Amino acid sequence: MSRKANHTKAEIVAAGLRVISKNGESALTARSLAAALGCSTSPIFTIFNSIDEVKEAIHQAALESFREYVKDSVNYVPAFKEYGMRIVKFAKQDINIFKMVFLTKGAAAEGINEQVSLCLQAFQKDYSLTKEQSMTLIHQVWTFTCGLALLNAADAEEFTDDKISSMLSQQFLSCLYYIKSGNKLPEIMPRKRADGEESLTLPVPFAGPRES
């Protein structure tokens, strides 16, 4: 005769999200989850076959919460600004869930690939970019936005909404203008400063988009 579950799958997942939100993903074990539920570990494994299966269900729930948080960003103009602002705010509200969705090795791929697909469509439509140009822009902006989100969540500096908005705009527009210009960004590898060298020779400044 099979055992009757004392807690539903949704209740177990919700408890797991609370554990991770408070103490980070590494704190999630069968015992910590059972403590959050106020029961033994038996009810957990009545529904799930392993702790890895539990973690996968929790990851999917965390990803869904992020989807819900940013889903209507495409209805704003400019969409990239609203989307970026929401990423930064999501990390601020719950840094451990943000890390689980986007910074966990292996598990992060699904969340990142999904968001890249959404951005790709918006960038091609809004800025008349090719797929290759859009991917270059996404890579630059995504990396910057995630870094900003982590710094903001860690209170490394006081980031007001206006400051976040300005920083996102500067990064996005500088990358967009350079891509639209058709110029290739030169590689500048670090090297040891020569004796007596006081200033560096910089690449030719960006002169703006070429006329068609």
pLDDT tens track for 132-164:
998 888 888 888 999 999 999 998 888 999 999
In this predicted model, what pLDDT tens digit does every residue of 187-199 receive, in sequence order? 777 888 888 777 7
- Distance from the Cα of residue 69 to its chain's centroid: 12
Which of residues 109 and 178 earns the better pLDDT score?
178
The whole-angstrom separation of Cα 14 and Cα 57 is 10
**Residue 71 corresponds to which tokens in the numbers above?**
């889903």
Largest Cα separation within the chain, whole Å, is 84
Q: Is the pLDDT of residue 98 over 70?
A: yes
Q: Are 142 and 70 in contact (CB under 8 A)?
A: no
Nearest to 33 by CA among 43, 4, 3: 43
The whole-angstrom separation of Cα 17 and Cα 59 is 9
State the helix-helix crossing angle for 131-153 and 108-127, rounded to 10 degrees. Answer: 120
Say which residue the tokens 């203008």 belong to.
177
85 phi, psi to nearest 5 deg: -60, -40
**Residue 120 corresponds to which tokens in the numbers above?**
């790709």
61 phi, psi to nearest 5 deg: -70, -40
Q: Can you point out the beta strands (E) in the chain?
A: none
Could you tell me the sign of the dihedral formed by the alpha carbons of 170, 155, 65, 31, in that order? positive
Q: Looking at residue 1, what is its pLDDT?
A: 36
Could you tell me the sign of the dihedral formed by the alpha carbons of 147, 179, 206, 191, in that order? positive
Q: Is the pLDDT of residue 106 over 70?
A: no
